[in-house]
């Protein structure tokens, strides 16, 4: 089914930055597909957005579940025939928080975090890329973190130098590498791929200690999702500024 309006899929969109991203994109007239691990949560979120005049649909999408990923692609293909924007927003943090004993990082922790923060992003993007290729101006936004910057972690004077959470940080570093590689693959297409650092935001993951409010935390994702043809690709961005890899 042909669609004149842009269509966006946001993973982990039932709360926090994902929900706000869906709201801000919807307010721009973009059709938003809000994905959550539980269908009830996705449908409730979509209903709330619809109440604000946003064209929203809720789908079940546990990003680590292959059947869910395939079902999402089937739904989007059947309903819209294309996907203009993919925002890989879903992610998990380390259960251990910031730790100084990096050498004691458990295999289970690495596998849990990489499964969601990297492997699922690669798999979902691969599943949806044929639909994104049908867009006149596809945009892929990978939610990273400044904690994935090797440059800043290696600098003892940087603001993140003493905030080490190896499993989480390494998953975002790897996600940044995927962003660079995918952008290179798609360099001769209209598709742009970028990594977004939303900032330290008052969410369940960020806690109330964070300095940024949720509406500001969604701004980078929204900006990268709506880049013009002259916008960057293969970059690591926070509120319009480029971060070091």
The domain spans of the chain are 7-242
Residue 101: pLDDT band by 50, 70, 90 thresholds?
Answer: confident
How many angstroms separate the CA atoms of 131 and 156, rounded?
44
| Cβ atoms 205, 16 nearer than 8 A | yes
Class of domain 7-242: alpha beta
What would you measure as the largest C-alpha separation in the chain, in angstroms?
54
pLDDT of 208: 66
Residue 213: pLDDT band by 50, 70, 90 thresholds?
Answer: confident
Residue 189: pLDDT band by 50, 70, 90 thresholds?
Answer: very high
| E strand map for the chain | 7-10, 31-36, 56-60, 85-88, 139-143, 192-196, 236-238, 241-242
Residue 210: pLDDT band by 50, 70, 90 thresholds?
Answer: low
pLDDT of 215: 84
How many angstroms separate the CA atoms of 19 and 131, rounded?
23
203 versus 8: the higher-pLDDT residue is 8
pLDDT of 2: 46
Average pLDDT, the chain: 94
For residue 204, pLDDT over 80 is answered with no
- SS3 sequence of 34-53: EEECCHHHHHHHHHHHHHCC
Residue 185: pLDDT band by 50, 70, 90 thresholds?
Answer: very high
pLDDT of 171: 98
For the segment 139-176, what is each residue's pLDDT rounded down to a tens digit?
A: 999 999 999 999 999 999 999 999 999 999 999 999 99
| Cβ atoms 203, 152 nearer than 8 A | no
pLDDT of 1: 44
For the segment 216-237, what is each residue's pLDDT rounded down to a tens digit?
A: 899 999 999 999 999 999 999 9
As annotated, the active-site residues are: 168
The residues, ordered by sequence, that sit 6+ positions from 237 with a Cβ below 8 Å of its Cβ are 194, 195, 196, 197, 220, 223, 224, 243
Residue 145, phi then psi, degrees to nearest 5:
-160, 150
């Amino acid at each position: 089914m042909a669609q004149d309006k842009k269509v966006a899929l946001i993973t982990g969109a039932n709360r926090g930055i994902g929900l706000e991203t869906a709201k801000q994109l919807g307010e721009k007239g973009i059709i938003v597909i809000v994905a959550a691990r539980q269908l009830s949560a996705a449908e409730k979120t979509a209903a709330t957005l619809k109440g604000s005049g946003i064209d929203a649909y809720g789908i079940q999408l546990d990003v680590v579940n292959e059947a869910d990923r395939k079902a999402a692609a089937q739904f989007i293909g059947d309903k819209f025939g294309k996907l203009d924007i993919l925002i890989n927003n879903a992610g998990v943090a380390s259960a251990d928080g910031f730790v100084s004993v990096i050498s004691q990082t458990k295999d289970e922790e690495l596998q849990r975090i990489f499964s969601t923060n990297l492997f699922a992003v690669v798999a979902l993007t691969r599943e949806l890329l044929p639909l994104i290729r049908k867009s006149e101006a596809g945009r892929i936004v990978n939610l990273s973190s400044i904690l994935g910057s090797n440059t800043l972690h290696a600098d003892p004077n940087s603001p993140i130098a003493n905030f080490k959470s190896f499993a989480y940080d390494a998953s975002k570093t790897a996600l940044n590498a995927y962003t660079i590689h995918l952008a290179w693959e798609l360099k001769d297409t209209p598709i742009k791929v970028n990594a977004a650092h939303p900032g330290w935001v008052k969410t369940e993951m960020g806690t109330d200690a964070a300095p940024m409010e949720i509406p500001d935390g969604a701004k980078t994702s929204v900006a990268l999702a709506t880049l013009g043809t002259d916008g960057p690709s293969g970059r690591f961005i926070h509120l319009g500024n480029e971060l070091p890899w």
